[in-house]
């Protein structure tokens, strides 16, 4: 009886592994067909205006792709996500989550130090909360909050601007209240600082 249960568990595991491999194969096909032009084959992005997806949290990516598909988040991705199935979205999120995240080299350490302070301490004079209070001390985020560590500086800065102006149409409530209080110096220094985190 125990051998039979063990065999069933083993067989179920093999089926799950095969299904995951098939899903990742489909994800790779979609990446080569659509995603690689902007985000690169391994999620490292072809330009600093596009986000790095490598190492991003699976659950966070599922939500963002689903929001792009539904139009809750608006942008270039709406047309690209429109025909993705739930399974394809999950597979893409898993595919990019498995890729190793890289970091940028920081050339202006003094400016990045301003960002480090804001990221970890916030600004009590203007009411800016510390970024680390939600995104973690290392900027790696959570299942529901994005990984900022290693993200392109220009992309992070643009997202903060979009949260401030409410051009970013999803996840805006909390981030607008923070981004609207950031000075340009704070925004740019935080973006630089997180780009150098691993």
Mean pLDDT calculated for residue range 24-32: 97
Q: If you search the block for the tokens 């999950």, which residue do you land on? A: 90
pLDDT band at 20 (very low <50, low <70, confident <90, very high): low
What are the boundaries of each domain within the chain?
A: 2-97, 109-195
Looking at the structure, give the CATH architecture of the domain made up of residues 2-97.
Orthogonal Bundle (1.10)
* pLDDT at residue 2, rounded to an integer: 64
CB within 8 Å of 63: residues ≥ 6 apart: 144
Q: Which CATH class is domain 109-195?
A: mainly alpha
Sign of dihedral through CA atoms 154, 160, 162, 165?
negative
Q: Helix (H) and strand (E) counts for the chain? A: 10, 0
Neighbour count for residue 15 (Cβ, 10 Å): 10
Q: What is the pLDDT of residue 5?
A: 60
The per-residue pLDDT for range 129-188, each reduced to its tens digit, is: 999 999 999 999 999 999 999 999 999 999 999 999 999 999 999 999 999 999 999 999
Instruction: Tell me the C-alpha distance between 39 and 53, whole Å.
Output: 7
Task: For residue 128, list its beta bridge partners.
Answer: 123
DSSP letter, residue 5: H
Using DSSP's 3-state secondary structure scheme, residue 128 falls into strand
pLDDT band at 18 (very low <50, low <70, confident <90, very high): very low
C-alpha span between 163 and 178 (Å, rounded): 9
Residue 14 has pLDDT above 60, yes or no: no
Mean pLDDT, range 47-61, rounded to an integer: 97
pLDDT of residue 19: 44
């Amino acid at each position: 009886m125990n051998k039979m249960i063990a065999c069933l568990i083993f067989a179920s595991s093999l089926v799950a592994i095969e299904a995951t491999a098939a899903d990742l194969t489909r994800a790779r096909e979609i990446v080569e067909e659509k995603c690689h032009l902007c985000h690169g084959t391994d999620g490292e992005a072809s330009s600093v205006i596009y986000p790095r997806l490598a190492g991003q949290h699976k659950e966070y990516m599922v939500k963002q792709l689903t929001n792009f598909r539904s139009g809750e988040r608006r942008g270039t991705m709406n047309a690209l996500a429109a025909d993705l199935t739930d399974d394809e979205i999950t597979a893409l999120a898993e595919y990019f989550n498995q890729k190793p995240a890289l970091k940028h080299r920081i050339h202006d350490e003094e400016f990045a130090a301003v960002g480090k302070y804001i990221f970890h301490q916030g600004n009590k004079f203007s009411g800016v909360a510390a970024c680390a209070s939600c995104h973690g001390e290392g900027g790696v985020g959570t299942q529901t909050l994005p990984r900022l560590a290693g993200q392109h500086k220009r992309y992070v800065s643009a997202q903060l601007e979009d949260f401030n102006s409410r051009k970013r149409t999803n996840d805006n409530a909390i981030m607008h209240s923070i981004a609207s209080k950031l000075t340009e110096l704070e925004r740019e220094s935080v973006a630089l600082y997180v780009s150098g985190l691993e």
